[in-house]
Chain A
Amino acid sequence: MKLYDGQTPGTPANYRCTRRSFLLYSLLGILGLEIGGCEQSGGVQDAWLDDVSPYPEEAANIGREYLAIHPEERNHEFLVRKVKDALLVSPGRESSEINAVNKVDYTFAGLEHAIRSEYARGDMVNIHSWIISPTEARLYALFSLR
């Protein structure tokens, strides 16, 4: 099953709507993907971003700095789409992996992998001398837009 190409994923029999899997599906819901097994509730950004950092204020501080440098990205949908793009291009993650919904770190692992891959590829942004991956920066930017 292909989760990230916009098609409907199936729902494994042993699926449990864990917090972290819910978070990913929330993200995908924002992107207009048809998903099953878990309903998206309100506060979409709040829902899935909480899993990215347990310190939203500090993440937002960095995100604000990023958006001050890149004001053209001050758009929630744009940022979410860029995060999704990063997940799509993240090499080394097969569809079987991303559908293994029983893995507790399912969503976070995907983001972490995408971010680590950007570092490994040399993709970086400079936020007042901090050198971080573009997707990581955009995640922090999303915190600042909450």
Chain B
Amino acid sequence: MIEDALEMQDNKDLSADLAIIGAGPAGITIARALAGSKISTLVLEAGGMKYSAEAQDMYAGESVGIDYPLTGSRLRYLGGSSNHWGGFCFPLAPIDFEVRDWVPYSGWPIRYEELQPYYDRASEIVEVLPGRFDDVDYWNKKYAESIPALATGRMHLGFVQYSPPTHFGERYRADLENARNIRVLLNANVVNIDVNENGAAVKQLKVRTQSGKSHTVRARYFVLATGGLENPRMLLLSNDVMKSGLGNQNDLVGRFFMEHPHLQGNAEIVAADARRLPRLFHEVITFNGHSAYLAFRPSSEFLRAKKLLNASIQIGFAEEHRRSKPAQYVGPVRAKEQADMLQAAHNFIVDSSDDRRRRDPDYLGFWLGSGAACEQAPNPASRVTLSSERDALGLPRIRLDWKLTEQDRRSIMQHFYSLALEFGALGMGRVLVNMRDDGIWPDMVAGGNHHMGTTRMSDSPANGVVDRNCRVHGIENLYVGGSSVFPTSGIANPTLTIVALALRLAEHIKGRFHEAV
């Protein structure tokens, strides 16, 4: 059942076994996992069925570090930020879960293997093929090309699979409407999480609409699943009993904000022999109704040996170089540099047995652009706090201070070099790394709308906000869903992992109800 709080009478006292704050991928996944059970579930969505500027404005705030689009990077209506999701899916790598002595604050309390079965189920939910994320043979059936083994030991090949993308509000709306134990309440803004006098349990939620109605929600268990920026905000502003906010006894809520810094065009590749460069390396592959794109990623061995952070680099065809028509997109200076390299290195990157120049003397080669996403090391100074500004409900807005480190930058530089070395070692092309190795992040760095780390998971409350089951340390009945629990970001776009963790959390919550029976 889906209802609208705007249409309810004022001052309603609502109750359920489980209250979920937020109807994005995490909240909807948990609710659906409980559909048909005896656990009555109330999902509180702050927005409506569709986008509205009024609801979206609640996401505005201050960005005081690296400029960040606080409003544009998320959406506040049914389905949450999946409504503008690009659909990129792949799981975190096993190394991402490990304690890495070169990455401060690294290490998840759970291992990859513990999450792997949930990844398979999550893949079905986001409508991609379970497994197949590193399966070169499977995707290469489309082309049946000869795929060279990478030569440097520094990189390996993986795949991003494309979800349609799954917009959770639209895709699973019928499930929410039809499940007898699920009730979704739209336009229901949680304005405080009320805890008992010692702060050890949540008593109720205070809910308000923008039209001025107020309600309360009581439940045995609560899940906060409002996204990696809003989750810490809710915990911090619920400070009537615990003055520093909920779960914040060690001043960790909101810290460790991580993104995946994205760099576009920082590696330019010139090549001339299309037969040496498999299409699999630079084209979207659509096969058996699913789509994927290959990515170059650092090997675990290289990451360990060089003490680097993770990354993922994809390349795509840009344009041809011809004598009569130089490449246009890069400007005349770079076009000449690329053409010079194509010609100088011609014999090293073209198979002499079938040199296209003989048939087409005007042809010089082509160039490819790149897109890279980088792991950001956990950094307590990169953080979300509350602003002195207030939203339409009188709540403190968010204040984000996103910071990157030299370790982050140094890592991606090395991975660009690795790409260049692979192309050289395989005789496929030559690579220009268009990023100065001067210790300064390029101006063009942007995030991927991935908000992670702000309620990080740890077995110890000294190091994290939630435990391995995503329960807030010190609060018996409050859980957190979403990428805010990621202790490290890895390099995978977070939605698949968010859904996998939500499935795992739903199982845990089911177990708690069974224990109580």
- Chain A residues engaging chain B, CB cutoff 8 angstroms: 51-55, 58-59, 61-62, 105, 108, 112, 115-122, 124, 126, 128-133, 136, 140, 143
Q: Are A61's CB and B151's CB within 8 A? A: no
Scoring B residues 326 to 361 as 1 if CB is less than 8 Å from chain A, else 0, what string do you get?
000000000001011101111110001000000000
Q: Are B346's CB and A55's CB within 8 A? A: yes
B475 part of interface (Cβ distance < 8 Å): no
B399 part of interface (Cβ distance < 8 Å): no
Given A54-B346, A115-B424 in contact, is the A129-B433 Cβ separation under 8 Å? yes
* Alpha-carbon gap, A105 to B352, bound state (A): 10
Contacts of A140 in B (CB 8 A): 344
Q: How far is the CB of B42 from chain A (nearest CB, A)?
A: 56
B431 part of interface (Cβ distance < 8 Å): yes
Q: Are B339's CB and A58's CB within 8 A? A: yes
Q: How far is the CB of A64 from chain B (nearest CB, A)?
A: 11
Contacts of A119 in B (CB 8 A): 151-152, 420-425
Residue of A nearest to B419 (CB): A131
Which listed residue, A55, A130, A131, A136, touches B343 by the CB 8 Å rule?
A55
Given A115-B348, A119-B151, A124-B417 in contact, is the A132-B343 Cβ separation under 8 Å? no
Residue of A nearest to B342 (CB): A58
Contacts of A54 in B (CB 8 A): 343, 346-347
Given A55-B343, A58-B339 in contact, is the A132-B425 Cβ separation under 8 Å? no
Q: Are B433's CB and A131's CB within 8 A? A: yes
24 A-B pairs (CB sep. < 8 Å) = A53-B343, A53-B344, A53-B347, A59-B344, A61-B344, A62-B341, A112-B347, A119-B151, A119-B152, A119-B422, A119-B424, A119-B425, A120-B421, A122-B154, A124-B420, A124-B424, A126-B437, A128-B337, A129-B432, A131-B430, A132-B430, A133-B424, A136-B345, A136-B348
* Alpha-carbon gap, A119 to B433, bound state (A): 15
B453 part of interface (Cβ distance < 8 Å): no
* Alpha-carbon gap, A51 to B352, bound state (A): 12
B427 part of interface (Cβ distance < 8 Å): yes
Q: Are B347's CB and A108's CB within 8 A? A: yes
Q: How many A-B residue pairs have CB under 8 A?
A: 91
* Alpha-carbon gap, A113 to B347, bound state (A): 12
B405 part of interface (Cβ distance < 8 Å): no
Residue of B nearest to A133 (CB): B424
Q: Are A112's CB and B427's CB within 8 A? A: yes
B434 part of interface (Cβ distance < 8 Å): yes
Q: How far is the CB of A26 from chain B (nearest CB, A)?
A: 17
Q: Are A130's CB and B341's CB within 8 A? A: yes
Contacts of B339 in A (CB 8 A): 58
Q: Are A129's CB and B152's CB within 8 A? A: no
* Alpha-carbon gap, A13 to B458, bound state (A): 74
**How many of B's residues come within 8 Å of A, CB to CB?**
31
Contacts of B430 in A (CB 8 A): 130-132
Q: Are B340's CB and A61's CB within 8 A? A: yes
6 A-B pairs closest in CB distance: A119-B424, A55-B343, A131-B420, A119-B425, A58-B343, A59-B344
Most buried by A among B343, B416, B433: B343
Q: Are A62's CB and B340's CB within 8 A? A: yes
Which listed residue, B152, B337, B426, B432, touches A122 by the CB 8 Å rule?
B152
Contacts of B431 in A (CB 8 A): 130-131
Q: How far is the CB of B135 from chain A (nearest CB, A)?
A: 25
Q: Are B152's CB and A55's CB within 8 A? A: no
Q: How far is the CB of A97 from chain B (nearest CB, A)?
A: 18
Q: Are A132's CB and B340's CB within 8 A? A: no
* Alpha-carbon gap, A124 to B417, bound state (A): 9
* Alpha-carbon gap, A119 to B150, bound state (A): 11
* Alpha-carbon gap, A58 to B427, bound state (A): 19
* Alpha-carbon gap, A140 to B344, bound state (A): 8
Residue of B nearest to A118 (CB): B424
Contacts of A59 in B (CB 8 A): 343-344
Contacts of A58 in B (CB 8 A): 339-341, 343-344
Q: Are A116's CB and B427's CB within 8 A? A: yes
Residue of A nearest to B270 (CB): A130
Contacts of A52 in B (CB 8 A): 347
Contacts of B435 in A (CB 8 A): 129
Residue of A nearest to B152 (CB): A120
Which listed residue, B337, B345, B417, B434, touches A53 by the CB 8 Å rule?
B345
Contacts of A136 in B (CB 8 A): 345, 348, 424
Scoring B residues 1 to 24 as 1 if CB is less than 8 Å from chain A, else 0, what string do you get?
000000000000000000000000
Most buried by B among A51, A129, A136: A129
Contacts of B426 in A (CB 8 A): 116
Q: How far is the CB of B199 from chain A (nearest CB, A)?
A: 54
Q: Are B421's CB and A124's CB within 8 A? A: yes
* Alpha-carbon gap, A116 to B347, bound state (A): 12
Contacts of B421 in A (CB 8 A): 119-120, 122, 124, 131
* Alpha-carbon gap, A59 to B347, bound state (A): 11
* Alpha-carbon gap, A115 to B348, bound state (A): 9
